Amino acid sequence: MREFAAIFDMDGTLIDNNPYHFKSWQVLFKNHGKPEPDRETFNREMSGVPGMVTLRKYFGDEYDEEGLKKLYKETSEIYQQEYAPHVRPIDGLENFLHELKNKGFKTAVASSASTVNIEFIFSRLNLRHYFDAIIDATGITKPKPEPQIFLKAADTIKTKPANCIVFEDSVSGVKAANAAGMKVVAITTTHKAGELKPVDMVIDDYTKLTAKQLLQLFEDNYERKHQ
């Protein structure tokens, strides 16, 4: 019997926190005398990308690596202060995770967020026990849109990439999941459906999603290959 796995990004996928990340980056840029990024720039170039990669791109000419780490700590502190009163899972998530575990799915989080920010979220949500593994940016040398983090997640939970389905909200994350050879479910917290492709399914939240629908994606693919 085939074993299937669901791999979840965190920001914008487990929680709808991207507005708070966006605000924290705006404040950081303003604090350091740079033009604040607009929403389009944030969604296109910063969402789903490790913070240090973003900092090297925009601040690398002015700061050494230690200076960039201090900036990253600053933006994380701004984000946590702003988001702490509002942390909650996306609608339907906990019931959906409960169903996945009952149906025998393996589950993992694969997020470009720092260990500190992942701990910040899971210290406020009672969801950690639903996941077999949590993969963060530590040790990831090729960030999204490269598939490395999703392949690492699949290897950690001992599931073939072809039997994995990724939940993502960012363009870079969708590209990474496709490059990993995995199914993709896009959630429209950050982008419109048409901006996230190619994907196997689009959802607004988890309230109407079932494990049976996920299994059907694999069955449809199997039937096409054997016609």
In which region does residue 10 sit, left (phi positive, over 0), alpha (psi from -120 to 50) or beta (all else)? alpha
CA distances from 135 to 9, 32, 112, 113, 158 (A): 9, 31, 8, 9, 14
Q: What is the pLDDT of residues 95-151, one digit of tens each?
A: 999 999 999 999 999 998 889 999 999 999 999 999 999 999 888 999 999 999 999
Tell me the average confidence (pLDDT) per consecutive run of 10 residues in the chain, 227 residues long: 91 94 95 94 85 93 95 95 96 98 97 92 96 93 94 98 96 96 96 93 97 90 42
| CB neighbour burial string for 23-60, b if at least 16 within 10 angstroms, e if fewer | bbbbbbbeeeeeeebeeeebbbbbbbbbbbbbbeebbe
Q: SS3 of 30, please?
A: helix
Residue-averaged pLDDT of the chain: 93
Q: How far is CA 198 from CA 40, 182, 188, in A?
A: 20, 11, 14
Read off the pTM: 0.88
Listed by start position, the domains of the chain span 5-16+90-225, 18-85
For domain 18-85, the CATH superfamily is: Putative phosphatase; domain 2 (1.10.150.240)
* Superfamily (CATH) of domain 5-16+90-225: HAD superfamily/HAD-like (3.40.50.1000)
